[in-house]
Structure 1
Amino acid sequence: MPLPFLTAERAVNGATADPALPYEDRERWRRPYRPGPGRVAGAAVLLLLASYILFAAVIIAVAGGLPGAGVCTALATGVIVLALRLVRSGVWVSRTGIRRIGLVSTSTHSWPEVRSVRTVQQPVKWLGMPRTVQGQAVLIDTADGGTLRPLVTDRNADFLGRAEAFDMAADAVEGWAAAHGR
């Protein structure tokens, strides 16, 4: 994640800043948008919790309870993995296809499997909960005639309250589909 104060410093010193989302190497999987502040804040809270658990593991180990310290260390490792998976979840694209990474599952579709990627107005889940509200969603129509569940919506953790960011992300995903799809 680029740090804005470093970018400003480079601009003052005459150096050019790196683009936020470089796409020179189209073989690598890339997220065509930045993760939302809610997702990043959630991961930060989980990492803070993991640091407290690790500190407790050190205290338990010094007190002589190695099995308890091992349990705390394993728990902290699980929380760290959860935080990393939370930040990593979202839509990723490359020359080979499009990938949706969730908290517990990942699905990948190659571009030949994708007939179209489009943005539609429809009822969408608010922050992934069962409650639905009217919003926008990016959908994939497959080559066999089916429609997959929405890739991203304007009401998920990355775009809640950031309509302009959703529009840019939807355009980027549709652009990748147009450039590499059928």
Structure 2
Amino acid sequence: MCGDGSFGQLGTGDTQSRNLPFEVPSFTTKHVEKLAFGMRHSLVLLKDNSVYGFGSARRGQVGKSASKNQKFCNTPRLIDGFPNCKIVNLYANGDHSAAFDESGQLYIWGRALVGEHDDDQPRAAFPSLSISQVALGWHHALVLSGGELYTIGAYRHQKCDPSVSENAVAQKLNLTTTSSKHHGTPHNF
């Protein structure tokens, strides 16, 4: 890895930035399968199905903190909360994280996409759907299931269907009423 380390997102145990690529000490003897990077945090999936997070912990996006006031975690921390499932991919954006399992379930944690409060434990976001594709936006998530598009997250920013006003409930997206707004980074259309 290399780059900005000001929130510990390089996993080196400090907050120094690195200009040259280096191997993260915690993973030198591990088989890394997948990586995902959010605004100020990093996620790693190992071959043994363990998921680690490090970097900004302000909204729970790297898992459970030692204390509620901990602003960042500069060494990789194991993220629990994947009950008897095989994780196949990781996603990160802004201040939230997600893991996708082989049965098509999506687990989300960090910034409040599921419920009204930030969450440091992975939660099933679409328990009744078998998901085939995932995309995380700045304040929301989009998933594809059976050819239908569903969304969850910050509707107050109208990133998805403007007729939806709830934050915690997964909604089927009606593409015939959704406008194509260009807002910069946080949009999906």
TM (norm. structure 1) is: 0.30
Identify the structure with bigger relative contact order (alpha carbons < 8 Å, sequence gap 6+). Answer: 1
Task: Choose between structure 1 and 2: higher helix proportion.
Answer: 1
Task: Choose between structure 1 and 2: higher strand proportion.
Answer: 2
Q: Which has the larger radius of gyration?
A: 1
